[in-house]
Amino acid sequence: MTLQVATANLNGIRAATRRGIGGWLDRVRPDILAVQEVRAPHDVLTEALPGWTLAHSASEIPGRAGVAVATTAPVHATRIGLGLAAAHQSGRWIEADVEVPAWAEPLTVVSAYVPVGELDSPKQAAKYEFLDAMTERMGELAAGGGNVIVCGDINVAHREPDLRNWRGNIDKRGFLLAERAYIDTWLDRQGWVDVGRKLAGDVDGPYTWWSWRGKAFDNDAGWRIDCQFASPGVATLALTSRVDRAPTYAERWSDHAPMVTVYA
């Protein structure tokens, strides 16, 4: 038996539906799907993903953010948010305790959407505020010793192999040393495992995001910012991981590609 877990930034569920996410779901059939940038109320998400058990946190700002966990299994409990009061932080963190057949304990699946940030702007301070709260919560989850996978759009490339043009982005948001240090903490101090990197090895990419503009997608000039961070016990069960990059620019249903990991 295997468990297939996917994470994907939708860039809007309405747009992703128009562009063909339904066909991808029919082909892949993930057991658990963590999504970000839903950008829609719950009834729209339910209509777009019929038959799924949904845990959804919509943003307080219409048309922005929004995260969800969709499963084919029962969900025992959900927890929303990181205790941040600012409205622009809503719709960015949700936890769902999912029943997994043959597992003694449930699997906690997190869908996270880290703010993009903007240098010399309050938006960058908001990003650090979110990353502080996220790091604190991940520390609590790690200390709890349960089965956990933190999925999401991190909006930070951790190392040079995680983006094609790393030299040109040294001093830019998404690749700042201060941002990357958070991921160091998750991996080196808290014990999380970056499953995609572990299984891919020390290679360039595989990238998960490419700008809609120019030839970024055609030239594979992307960033690896969509990740699954697993607790140590769950990480040992990871068998394969891949990025489902669309065959052509025209067949993309988001500016991100889903990351799919198969666990034993």
Residues with a known catalytic role: 153
> Rounded to an integer, what distance in angstroms lies between the CA atom of residue 172 and that of residue 177?
10
Angle made by CA atoms 235, 237, 239, in degrees to the nearest 5: 100
**What would the DSSP string read from start to end of 83-123?**
S---GGGSSSEEEEEE--TT-SS-EEEEEEE-----TTSHH
Q: Which helix (H) or strand (E) holds 244?
A: none
> Rounded to an integer, what distance in angstroms lies between the CA atom of residue 198 and that of residue 241?
9
HSE-CB of 48 using CA atoms within 13 angstroms: 26
> Rounded to an integer, what distance in angstroms lies between the CA atom of residue 188 and that of residue 212?
34
Q: Which helix (H) or strand (E) holds 22?
A: helix 21-28
Give Rg (Cα) of the chain. 17
